[in-house]
Amino acid sequence: MSETRIEPCLFIILGATGDLTRRKLLPALYHLAAQGLLGRNCRILGAARRAEWDDEAFRAMAREALAAVGLTVDDRCTHWCDECLHYQSIGRGQPEDYRALAARIEELERTHHLPGNRVFYLALPPVAFPGTITALGQTGLNRSAGWTRLVIEKPFGRDLASAEELNRLVHQYFDESQTYRIDHYLGKETVQNLLAFRFGNALFESLWNRDRVENVQITVAEQLGVGSRAGYYEQAGALRDMVQNHLTQLLTLTAMEVPGAFEADAIRYEKIKVLRSVEPIRPEDVVLGQYAPGRINGRAVPGYRQEPGVAPDSRTETFVAMRLEIANWRWQGVPFYLRTGKRLSRRVTQIVVTFRCPPVSLFRSSDGPGIRPNILVITLQPDEGFDLSFEVKAPGQTMALQAHRMRFRYDEVFGPLPDAYETLLLDVLTGDQTLFVHADEVEASWRLYTPLLQRRLPVHPYPAGTWGPREADHLLSRMKDAWTIL
Amino acid sequence: MSETRIEPCLFIILGATGDLTRRKLLPALYHLAAQGLLGRNCRILGAARRAEWDDEAFRAMAREALAAVGLTVDDRCTHWCDECLHYQSIGRGQPEDYRALAARIEELERTHHLPGNRVFYLALPPVAFPGTITALGQTGLNRSAGWTRLVIEKPFGRDLASAEELNRLVHQYFDESQTYRIDHYLGKETVQNLLAFRFGNALFESLWNRDRVENVQITVAEQLGVGSRAGYYEQAGALRDMVQNHLTQLLTLTAMEVPGAFEADAIRYEKIKVLRSVEPIRPEDVVLGQYAPGRINGRAVPGYRQEPGVAPDSRTETFVAMRLEIANWRWQGVPFYLRTGKRLSRRVTQIVVTFRCPPVSLFRSSDGPGIRPNILVITLQPDEGFDLSFEVKAPGQTMALQAHRMRFRYDEVFGPLPDAYETLLLDVLTGDQTLFVHADEVEASWRLYTPLLQRRLPVHPYPAGTWGPREADHLLSRMKDAWTIL
């Protein structure tokens, strides 16, 4: 990954009055500016429908948005808003609206001596992607005197066909090297920590294969319900919303081979290779669930079907558990278990690598007769770190073992990590595509899950506040495995 | 190791008025009694030269000794002393003295209905071993109606010839299965922890070989000087006092193969196998040192030659560092570095296993360009535990790694561990020889070091409070290694 060196540029946000802009983009951009990483020759141009807005209205919104996320809106901050933020309406998105946008961009670049480097950030609902991309292309905004980069938020398609179609459209106007498909779930630090852990430590890398690993589990558990997002979620479900993107990212980062270099192309190539090695997922290896009423932290919560905006007979899954096999030299025969859900017992994202047990046991366990495996737990949320469980002798006259842990937590050493958006925007601005999803990767991922979306798999109810339907436990117990969470 | 089940017995201490009895044996025996492990049918008979002493004098000494180590001498304690402690003089150790001892033993066994199980604990200086063993044997005290066990304190010989001679004498009267050569340095818990760690954790055992390990370092560092022991130490030196026994124990426990079972015979067999695979030590792989005046914790301390009782031109080594090679399938080519000394920088006993580096580095280090290895540190003193150093990414824009640690400490989980003597005496009483040194092991160890004792190796001075002479660093840097301590 490259050194931080941001060239003068114009950062154009399409959807500048929306939630994402307020909650994430403006705070992240201001943070970067406050750290001196974005100078005055990095201007932000908000674009949205509202025709009555001007620069000042956008700046007022920005100050409000920054205050709302807890930032101190002091002189420096106000000064940044006044100096660097601009607004341009794109009205109803007609050709003349985009020509006006292009004119405004050129005017700003002229006035502020910018070399024509541009980011177009689509902070828009997916339905607006095709029209916006086409309009940008047809207005000639896909090329400039400097570089032009297009940032697209997830979801990128809703199955293989729609993803392919969207990719075709993007590629009609933009090169893949201009395209940044963002998956904010994985902050840059988190991914880098994971890759540094794997490839900076020969110890673990030498254990990272079918000879030493019994199974790998990836859990992304939320306590929240669908909240106000039912409109979107009813059409999506957990498989599209979480598995196809976030969990698949974690899967490929965990399973990938050592890349030839720590560079975007090399890393993205290895991730795609993993996806292409995953065996077709058998329907009997997938468990879908939907939360029923239950309790979260002692508080009664409604079931999914009782949430506002959800159909009373909705079959949308809020939980997915599945078993994957990766048919390559490293992983053949090692089950990879993925699990995600809303309204689960607690909020946690963990990759759990269970190593093979000793072939024979010289000892007995203090809490049962069995041999226990060593387990490496990589926690991504809420407290990023590593735990290695191992067996120690319990003091006393008998030779009995107990499982204990060696532990490491990032925040205890380094303090809080930066927000995901902050580092991802910096990557866009420096042209580092490592953490952005390649067109081939998107398609390979949809290729894997689309057959499941086309089937009418049973959806098992589970009480809110549990770890999902019992069928998810059977999925593992069938293989003599069990879900592990720290 | 067997369950705790102590049969009624008589525990005879030869040297009952000495320092070891006061400081270690009586406190350990009382602790065992207080825990209910030693009942009233376990009697202690102190034997020593003093003819004027009787049971009461010995009991008074015991109460005083228990108070001196910080135990509360309450009614229960006084009651134990009065009920279970006895004394018998052996005068000048003439045959009639031993016959009187035998008579007293039989009388106590009759009075208290003991079945004839006996421990003879030689809490004596080494010079008294042969005479005492012979006297016991000639008086017929080597056999009884129950079991008879002989406990011998280190040092066991001062070279191969003397160790062989002592073994021959012991075996003239006692079977090897009756003989308990004690090396208190390794408490039972410590050894068991080490073996449990190795053989209860497939993760580490799978890394424990020449393919994964770069080198192994064993450091036993003392801050203390020779103190009042110059008389003994001038004749011994660090090679006899520490390397031949303690460090060699740690070496064999670290390097041994997985035993067939967790039993004395199986474990001792594997330890002996290690010793027999050690290549003859080349004199150029040994560095001897002797402390010169220096500073410990900011306080000036004299050099060894300035200590009371030390010859002003003494050539006795107070420091040894050496490189060993174990020529077996597991370890061929992996250097084992041993190091011990008095008046070193701090008090610490650690086994440091340095794993091989990644074959190529994808990253750079935040504190230099090099690739660093993963390191496992097993600390035995002062705070028993494990640390695994590994590389993590330092937060920030560049992909730079920093070494950090996962850690585990026994006392944080289990509280303080029992004293070594307590658990070792319990082993003697239950007949578990696992932690006691076999005759073959003693001889194999002396066989290794005796050629070095017969040479006049240079003795390099080092300032007190350092890590020994510079030559000890060269010993490793020659191999592109370096001493590591946590």
d(CA B305, CA B291): 8
A377–chain B nearest CA distance, Å: 12
0.90 exceeded by pTM: no
Mean pLDDT of chain A: 92
Contact B201 A390 (CB under 8 A): yes
**Contact call for A391 and B203, based on CB within 8 A:** no
A431 conformational bin, left if phi > 0, alpha if psi -120 to 50, beta if neither: left
List, in order, residues 6 or more apart from B315 with CB less than 8 Å away. Answer: B290, B456, B459
HSE (side-chain half, CA atoms, 13 Å) at A465: 11
B177 contacts B187 by C-beta, under 8 angstroms: no
Count interface pairs A-B at CB distance under 8 A. 173
Q: How confident is the model at residue A36 (pLDDT cuts 50, 70, 90)?
A: confident
Mutation site for A-interface testing, chosen from B365, B390, B412 by largest number of A Cβ within 10 Å: B390
Residue A208: band (very low, low, confident or very high) from pLDDT cuts 50, 70, 90:
very high
What is B127-157 written as a DSSP string?
GGHHHHHHHHHHTTTT--SS-EEEEEESP--
Return d(Cα B16, Cα B50) in angstroms, integer. Answer: 10
ipTM over 0.90: no
Average pLDDT rounded to a whole number, residues B304-324? 97
Which of B5, B353, B362, B417 should we substitute to test contact with A (largest number of A Cβ atoms within 10 Å)?
B362
How far is the alpha carbon of B51 from chain A, nearest alpha carbon, in Å? 38
Average pLDDT of the segment spanning B421-433:
90
- The CA-CA-CA angle for residues A76, A78, A84, to 5°, reads 95
Over residues B90-101, the mean pLDDT reads 95
Which tens digit of pLDDT belongs to each residue from A246-277?
A: 999 999 999 999 998 888 899 999 999 999 99
Q: Does the pLDDT value for residue B306 go beyond 70?
A: yes
Question: How buried is A333 (Cβ within 10 angstroms: 0-12 exposed, 13-18 middle, 19+ buried)?
Answer: exposed
Of B196, B204, B406, the CB nearest to A363: B196
Q: Is B248 exposed, middle or buried (0-12, 13-18, 19+ CB in 10 A)?
A: buried
Highest mean pLDDT out of A199-203, A368-372, B340-344: B340-344
Confidence of residue B3 (pLDDT cuts 50, 70, 90): very low
Chain A nearest C-alpha distance from B324 (Å): 24
CA B88 to chain centroid: 30
Other CB atoms within a 10 A radius of the CB of residue B423 amount to: 25
Binning pLDDT at 50, 70 and 90, where does residue B410 land?
Answer: confident
Interface test with chain B among A397, A398, A425, A426, by most B beta carbons within 10 Å: A397
Mean pLDDT confidence for A36-49: 91
Report pLDDT digits (tens) over A219-240.
999 999 999 889 989 999 999 9
CA distance A256 to A324: 14
CA angle, A350 then A354 then A357, to 5°: 160
CB contact under 8 A, B393 and A193: yes
Contact (Cβ atoms closer than 8 angstroms) between residue B45 and residue B12 = yes
What the block records as the tokens of A435 is 């953490």
Average pLDDT estimate for A2-21: 86
- Flag if A391 and B357 touch (Cβ within 8 Å): no
Output the CA–CA distances (angstroms, integers) from residue A240 to A63, A325, A340, B163, B341, in the order listed: 35, 20, 11, 75, 64
Any B CB within 8 A of A192 CB: yes
Q: Which of B363, B406, B417 sits opposite A406 (nearest CB)?
A: B406
Q: Is residue A341 helix, strand or coil?
A: strand
| Residue B406 at interface with chain A, using a CB cutoff of 8 Å | yes
Asked whether the CA dihedral B128, B180, B237, B65 is positive or negative, the reply is negative
Closest CA to B193 of B436, B408, B482: B408
Q: Do A397 and B197 touch (CB under 8 A)?
A: no
Which residues of chain B are within 8 Å of residue A363 when distances are taken between CB atoms?
Answer: 196, 199-200, 262
Contacts with A372 (C-beta within 8 Å, 6 or more apart), sequence order: A357, A365, A391, A401, A403
Provide the pLDDT for residue B366. Answer: 57
3-class SS of residue B332: coil
Position B13, amino acid: I
Alpha helices in A5-54 (DSSP H): 19-20, 26-34
Rg value, chain A, Cα: 24
- Cα separation, B141 vs B118, in Å, equals 9
Asked if residue B477 has pLDDT above 90, the reply is yes
pLDDT digits (tens, 9 = 90+) for B428-460: 999 999 889 999 999 999 999 999 999 999 999
The sign one gets for the Cα dihedral A363, A364, A367, A372 is positive
Residue A3 has pLDDT above 70, yes or no: no
Report yes or no: B392 at the A interface, CB cutoff 8 Å.
yes
pLDDT above 80: residue A7: yes
Number of other CB atoms surrounding residue A118 within 10 Å: 23
Q: Taking 90 as the threshold, does the pLDDT of residue B135 lie above it?
A: yes
Chain A contact for B426, CB < 8 A?
yes
Token pair for residue B64? 């005083």
Q: Is the CB of residue B208 less than 8 Å away from at least one CB of chain A? A: no
- A355:B203 CB<8 A: yes
Q: Do B392 and A206 touch (CB under 8 A)?
A: no
Query: What are the tens digits of pLDDT across the range A161-198?
Result: 999 999 999 999 999 999 999 887 777 677 788 888 99
Which of A239, A242, A240, A233 lies closest to A311, judged by CA?
Answer: A233
Asked if residue A226 lies in contact with residue B422, where contact means CB atoms within 8 angstroms, the answer is no
Instruction: Provide the pLDDT confidence category of residue A399 given band limits of 50, 70 and 90.
Output: confident
Q: How confident is the model at residue B367 (pLDDT cuts 50, 70, 90)?
A: low
Q: Using an 8 Å CB-CB cutoff, list chain B residues near A266.
A: none
Beta-carbon neighbour count of residue B134 at 10 Å? 15
pLDDT confidence of B1, banded at 50, 70, 90? very low
Residues of B in contact with A355 (CB under 8 A): 202-203
Question: Which neighbouring-strand residues pair with A122?
Answer: A14, A152
pLDDT digits (tens, 9 = 90+) for A57-99: 999 999 999 999 988 889 989 999 999 999 999 999 999 999 9
| Euclidean distance between CA atoms A454 and A378, whole angstroms | 33
A246 is catalytic: yes
Inter-CA distances, A213 with A65, A133, A353, Å:
47, 45, 7
Q: Is the pLDDT of residue B397 over 80?
A: no
Q: What three-state secondary structure class fits B348?
A: strand
Highest mean pLDDT among B224-228, B403-407, B420-424: B224-228
Distance from the B132 Cα atom to the nearest Cα atom in chain A, whole angstroms: 32
Tokens representing A382 are: 């809420």
Alpha-carbon span B137 to B143, nearest angstrom: 8
Whether B389 contacts chain A with CB within 8 A: no
Contact between A89 and A53 (Cβ < 8 Å): yes
Catalytic entry in A86, A184, A246, A460: A246
CA B400 – CA B363 distance, rounded (Å):
6
CB contact under 8 A, B199 and A410: no
CA B437 to chain centroid, in Å, comes to: 10
Residue in B356, B363, B406 nearest the CB of A386: B406
User: Which residues are registered as beta bridge partners of A291?
Assistant: A462
Q: Count the Cβ atoms, other than its own, within 10 Å of residue A329.
A: 10
Rank A364-378, B75-89, B355-369, B386-400 by mean pLDDT and report only the highest.
B75-89
Return the pLDDT at B462: 98
Helix/strand/coil percentages in chain B, nearest 5: 40, 25, 40
Is A348 in contact with A379 (CB distance < 8 Å)?
A: yes
Q: What is the DSSP letter of A304?
A: G
Phi/psi of residue B117, each to 5°? -80, 130
